[in-house]
Structure 1
Amino acid sequence: MVLSLDTFRRLAGLAGWAALLTILFSTLSPIEARPHIPLFGADAERFLAYCAAAATFSFAYPRRRWLVLGGIVSLAIGLEWLQTLEKTRHGLPHDAMVKVAGAALGSIAAAALDAMALRLRKPA
């Protein structure tokens, strides 16, 4: 069974929304409720989460890639600020920069994947 590019885009959209919900929960919940990956440090987790969200959304919505990147960058900065409202959390510029870097790399990776997929597509 071969899935079409449109099907992959729909699946990427679902994965993007799942990543976004995970980011929202992880960022705004108390520190003890935050999920983490034991093998990675907090910076790696932040980077990978935003990289995954940007990559999946950018692949799902290729015509709105810049809007997606801008939205995720805005979200990263806004959520860092919102963390200052939670007693057990803190918002730091360093954390925001790690998230922005992850989002940028994810968007670039999605653009590269999209370019490869379009080149490999058989002419109709």
Structure 2
Amino acid sequence: MTKLSRIAALTLLAIIVFATLSPIQMRPHFAEANVERALAYILLGFALGLGFPNRLYHVVIFVIVTAGMLELLQIVDPGRHAELADAVVKACAGIVGILVGQLFARGSRRLGER
């Protein structure tokens, strides 16, 4: 489960990087922008929480830094805009995903102990 979660996290990270830094017309679109941002980072956080169950602080820092850096990198593209509010939505959603993933991982371990 851990290895699969790590592969999922890496795949989700690649998709997020593409969607964040590609030209706006190439970005996948299926809902309102904040919903898309939040869902992407919740899924990334969940995969990281499952994939690194003993590294809570490391994955929280990783998600926060990733959200901030990817948002800042949008300054390079004239068709995109970097906004603090977007980075905050991404980071908070990622943290929620991490916490849910951590709870899920701990619950699975407890069930396995029985």
Aligned length: 114
Counterpart selection for 1:17 from 10, 24, 28? 10
CA distance in 2, matches of 1:72, 1:101: 9
**Alignment of 1:106 onto 2:92:** no
**Alignment of 1:65 onto 2:60:** no
**Alignment of 1:115 onto 2:106:** yes
Q: Per-residue deviation at 1:117?
A: 0.4
Paired residues of 2:42 and 2:94 also in contact (CA < 8 A):
yes
Q: Whose radius of gyration is greater, 1 or 2?
A: 1
**Alignment of 1:34 onto 2:65:** no
Structure 2, unaligned runs of 5 or more: none
Q: What amino acid maps onto 2:106 in structure 1?
A: A
Structure with the bigger RCO (C-alpha within 8 Å, sep 6+) is 2
CA distance in 1, matches of 2:53, 2:94: 15
Q: TM-score, normalised by structure 1?
A: 0.88
Paired residues of 2:38 and 2:90 also in contact (CA < 8 A):
yes
2:73 aligns to what?
82
2:41 aligns to what?
50
Show CA shifts across 1:15-49 (max 9, x none). Answer: 10010000000011010011121xx2100100011
CA distance in 1, matches of 2:47, 2:6: 6
Paired residues of 2:63 and 2:95 also in contact (CA < 8 A):
no
Q: Per-residue deviation at 1:122?
A: 3.6
Q: What amino acid maps onto 1:118 in structure 2?
A: R
CA distance in 2, matches of 1:29, 1:118: 39
Cα RMSD after superposing both structures:
1.0
Structure 1, unaligned runs of 5 or more: 1-7
Q: TM-score, normalised by structure 2?
A: 0.95
Over the matched positions of the two proteins, sequence identity in percent amounts to 32
